[in-house]
A = this chain, B = another copy of it.
Amino acid sequence: MASGARHAEPPARPADALGRLIEALRRLPGVGVKSAQRMAYHLLQHDRDGALQLAHALDEAVHQVRHCERCHTFTEQPVCTTCLDPLRDARQLCVIETPADQAAVERTGSYKGLYFVLMGKLSPLDGIGAHDIGLPVLLERVGDGTVQEVIVATNFTAEGEVTAHVIAQALQKAGVRVTRLARGVPIGSELEYVDLGTIAHALVDRR
């Protein structure tokens, strides 16, 4: 047990500024020690302006970016511009996992309702439960009488499907229509190369 405790100790803080920079870069998702080294060397050798710009942008974002009080997406105001837009249809609420997903839906130009951003997905193994994705807030919002349809647009991954299922169940009592994005064959694809699960779903949901 003693050796286990020793293993759990954090590594000593590097004594030099370059080592500390490499260590800090490793906290970025998808960046291992080799990439962090390469990034640090590149910034110090070729792009010190970029390094200072990044330092400033990080500092600024941490202190200014917060969550929209209504939809939970990132914003610098108490309420984001989408939620404040009087031209959007407040009767429709699209529930999505991340701001990146929201941006993808926005780019289609075919949705004029509002959003609720979970900022994650249910993942009990990582300790992410209903409270962490704002489910109580969503229920309260849907219960205010304005929302008539909730479009659940979580990802079609295992965790996204579970999240969609839990949300749909929780909303059953609220008396609103709950829909899910259609599953089917992507535009431009040949059936031969589409996976079987997708074709099966497209068959079931044919219209």
Q: How near does chain B come to A125, taking the closest CB pair, in angstroms?
A: 16
* Chain B CB within 8 A of A157 CB: no
Residues 33-56 of A, flagged 1 when their CB comes within 8 A of B and 0 if not, give: 001011111111101101111111
B53 and A55 within 8 A (CB): no
Q: Assembly of this chain: how many copies?
A: 2
A38 and B76 within 8 A (CB): no
Given pairs A25-B57, A55-B58, 9 additional interface contacts (CB within 8 A): A18-B65, A18-B76, A24-B56, A24-B57, A28-B43, A30-B39, A44-B74, A51-B62, A55-B59
Footprint of B on A, CB under 8 Å? 16-18, 20-21, 23-25, 27-30, 35, 37-45, 47-48, 50-62, 64-65, 74, 76, 98-100, 119-120
